Amino acid sequence: MNKEAINKLMRPKSVAVVGASSQPGKIGYTVLENLIKGGYKGKIYPINPAATEILSLPVFASVSALPEPADLAIITVPVKFANQVAEECGQKGIKALSVITSGYSEVGRNDLEKELIDIAHKYGMCVLGPNIVGSLSNSDDLNASFGPFLPFKGSATLITQSGALLIAMDAITYTRKVGFDKMISIGNMADVDFADLIEWLEDDKYTSCTCLYVEGIKDGRKFIDACRNAKKPIIALKAGTSVHGAAAAASHTGSLAGSAKVYTAAFQQAGVVQASDLNNLFDRTLALSLMPPLKGTNLLLVTNGGGVGVLATDAAEKFGIPLKFAPPDVQEELKKHMPAFGSAKNPVDMTGMAGNDWYYETVKFAYAHPWTDGLVVLYCETAMTSPVEIAQAVKKAMDDSGMKGKPIMVSMVGGTRCDKAMQWLVENGIPAYGPPDQAMNAMAALSELNRIQSMLDKTEVVSDPACAAKAAEIIAVARGDGRTALTEVEAKQIFSAYGLPIAQTWLAKCEDEAVEMAKSIGFPVVMKIISPDIVHKSDAKGVKVNIKDEAGVRESYKTILANAKVYKADANIHGIAVQEMAPSGTEVIVGSVNDATFGPTVMFGLGGIFVEVLKDVTFRVAPVNKSQIEQMLTEIRGAPMLKGVRGELPRDRAALVDVLYRYAIMISDLAGEVSETDANPILVYAEGKGVKVVDARIILKKKA
């Protein structure tokens, strides 16, 4: 990241508008007008060779005619002139360009975009865009965009790949009362990308939470690293998660959509909370920008209406933060501010009789109590109470409690009076929502934030160069043969190099050798043909199992060899593998894909119908730390299988975690060489008994 240049981009002391126009309706006019209307305090330099004054500002004929290199140049000229303007900016010593101009890669002109960036980098300039609406910042009174006004004030910052959505979201901030400091249209991300801005925003004191609208990330690893290093919460809405939607997104921005499941995995690993839709993005941003994470599971719910209390309770369970009954001492105290027919259990139902005082006393006690990890205050509009007064009571109770560092939020179910009260709450730093499920979902975001942040740094992933060197040798042999498919024996050698517990497999070159190996392994054994020309061994009748003695080995050797000759007369036969016959266990499958966005990605699932019928698999970008792997083991639907079913002992999770950990390091190390791999099946035994990788497959990347 070119931090100095981005400083100038985001917080310029002077701004040049190249292509400033005197014609209302033109973007070059709108941008200039917005700078002025927004109240920008720095210098504004309109540039237009054909004008002398626009909107009462003196106009410069060209970039070179400027009295100083402006911190930021906003380029609004047509695409045919834009790169030339960039060149002039560079010559002038300008360091930051905001290229509103469109007509670049989004319409297939990747050449023009490359040229633009080459020019920029030649002069050490950073580029926002091209093809953007611009950027807006409340803290600098800077509307450097053609969006009509600065957003409702607050401390979130939006970075969006859709400029149209920026303009719409800007307007929504006022109706939804979700406050932003900055809104940044990132367009084609030809230079400055999500990662750069996330990194820069870490030091921006006006931003407490970063909010992303993502269609397609270009450099997945850079994104993950930037998010992982960020201390501030990040929330993302990923568009194009559906099959048809991904196609629509691709045609819309030209960005690679990647797999929605891999994005979800990467967000988890990066510590990014996800939003499910646009409303949810606002809901969760509000909570993340105003409240700390929810650090425990004791969520208390206070309400004046049984019905909304039940709805909120349902929502809590749905969003993964189920309610528990409050402990007896808490209940006892809470009973003091409700009628006899109220309930102090949780939800705490003060009934429709609850006025300001009960809300005050109950919230003050409940928020301060050490049992409470988080508090949701519900209010169902009644004719007898004033929502604004209830809101004020809640705020005062929170302040008077002396407690800090716990999340609290409010849900007000009612009409315009509630809307006003909720605005008051947000302006006073308390997230407020209409329907109770929105509040519960926002609270769940604070819980998710806590969970994924706690999983970021638990285990360091350590890669060993010796493993990679051993793998490189084996791969070199295959490459030397002109092959991209490794044999099972080769694949197992690489797996072994990475410490994966494979079922012992040796390659016999003659019958006697096979007998010797079988004796050494111990009967029964499995024997398989090993030939780069025979991929589907069973089809070639090249597999024999449960071979119990020497005679069996000799007979199998001959038969397999004969069958192979029948199947493919000129097959290059490496020999016959003699393999330990692993006892049966719970079948799992581990594999890898090279995701277009995130690179080597490990897949995990249970074998049999779980993968075949239920497609019950989960992903993580490699390498993966062990706490993430533990999470993988719980997030498949068949997770109970690993606890042992039908009287089985619990399966050896620790051994399985270790396998996934090593597997991910392996595919990460070999990312440059390997296109796909799998270990199918892996047998998982009872706790302490380990696992066995029974079969192994590695396919290399095609090289020119």
Nearest approach, Cβ of residue 491 and its own copies (Å): 24
Nearer to its own copies, 148 or 522 (CB): 148
Stretch that binds its own copies, among 37-45, 63-71, 337-345, 617-625 (CB under 8 A): 337-345
595 lies in the site for its own copies, by CB under 8 A: no
Per CB under 8 A, does 323 bind its own copies? yes
Q: Does 311 sit near its own copies (CB under 8 A)? A: yes
Q: Among 218-226, 306-314, 541-549, 558-566, which window interacts with its own copies (CB under 8 A)?
A: 306-314
- Under rule CB under 8 A, which residues in 125-144 are in contact with its own copies? none
Q: How far is the CB of 325 from its own copies (least distance, A)?
A: 8
Minimum gap (Å) between residue 452 Cβ and its own copies: 22
- Residues contacting residue 244 through CB under 8 Å, at least 6 positions apart: none
Over the window 466 to 505, marking each residue x when it contacts its own copies by CB under 8 A and - when it does not, the resulting string is ----------------------------------------
Q: Pick the closest to residue 592 from 502, 679, 654, 673 (CA basis).
A: 679
Number of residues that bind its own copies (CB under 8 A): 89
Q: How far is the CB of 171 from its own copies (least distance, A)?
A: 3
Question: Out of 118, 174, 634, 701, which residue is the one contacting its own copies (CB under 8 A)?
Answer: 174
Which 655-694 residues touch its own copies, going by CB under 8 A? none
Given 52, 62, 64, 175, the residue binding its own copies (CB under 8 A): 175
Give dist(CA 439, CA 314) in Å, integer: 12
Rounded to whole angstroms, how far apart are CA atoms 691 and 685? 6
Select the span of 117-125, 196-204, 302-310, 660-668 touching its own copies (CB under 8 A): 302-310
| Token code pair at residue 522 | 């111990």
User: At its nearest, how many Å lie between its own copies and the CB of residue 340?
Assistant: 9
Helix (H) or strand (E) holding 680: strand 674-684
Tell me whether residue 385 or residue 668 sits nearer to its own copies (CB atom): 385
- Of 457, 468, 532, the C-alpha closest to 499 is 468
Q: Which is nearer to its own copies, 220 or 305 (CB)?
A: 305
Binders of its own copies among residues 394 to 433 (CB under 8 A) are: 413-419
Give least dist CB 32 to its own copies, A: 14
Q: Which of the residues 240 through 299 are near its own copies (CB under 8 A)?
A: 240-245, 248-249, 251-253, 277-279
CB 73 within 8 A of CB 63: yes
Strands 96-99 and 57-58: unpaired
- C-alpha span between 532 and 534 (Å, rounded): 6
Q: How far is the CB of 666 from its own copies (least distance, A)?
A: 30
Pairing of strands 575-580, 525-530: antiparallel
304 binds its own copies (CB under 8 A): yes
| Chosen residue from 196, 215, 490, 673 binding its own copies by CB under 8 A | 215
Q: What is the DSSP string of 589-603?
A: EEEEEEETTTEEEEE
**Is 239 near its own copies (CB under 8 A)?**
yes
Cα–Cα distances in Å, from 20 out to 44, 48, 133?
Answer: 11, 6, 15
> Quick one: 70 or 442, whose CB is closer to its own copies?
442
Q: Whose Cβ is closer to its own copies: residue 18's or residue 312's?
A: 312
Please report, as residue ranges, which positions from 354 to 393 form the binding site for its own copies (by CB under 8 A). 380-384
Our CB check for its own copies shows the closer of 57 and 278 to be: 278
Q: Label the pairing between strands 299-303 and 374-380.
A: parallel
CB-CB contact of 286 with 425 (8 Å): no
Residues linked to residue 529 through DSSP beta bridges, in sequence order:
576
Cα 548 to Cα 98, 521, 525, 537, 580, distances in angstroms:
74, 12, 7, 21, 11
Site map for its own copies, 338-357, x if CB under 8 A? ---x-x-x-x-x--x-----
User: Of residues 533-562, which lie at the interface with its own copies (CB under 8 A)?
Assistant: none
Beta bridge partners of 377: 302, 410
HEC letters along 631-671: HHHHHCCCHHHHHCCCCCCCECHHHHHHHHHHHHHHHHHCC
Q: Which is nearer to its own copies, 93 or 415 (CB)?
A: 415
SS3 content of the chain, % helix, strand, coil (to 5): 40, 20, 35
| Smallest gap from residue 133 Cβ to its own copies (A) | 10
> Segment 91-120, which members bind its own copies (CB under 8 A)?
106-107
318 lies in the site for its own copies, by CB under 8 A: yes
**Residue 404 or 615 having the CB closest to its own copies:** 615
Q: Which is nearer to its own copies, 250 or 368 (CB)?
A: 250
Cβ-Cβ contacts under 8 Å for 432 (sequence gap 6 or more): 177, 391, 409, 410, 411, 412, 421, 422, 423, 425, 426, 439
Distance CA(217)–CA(212), nearest Å, equals 11
Asked if 503 and 579 count as a contact pair (C-beta separation under 8 A), the reply is: yes
Burial of 28 (0-12, 13-18, 19+ CB in 10 A): buried
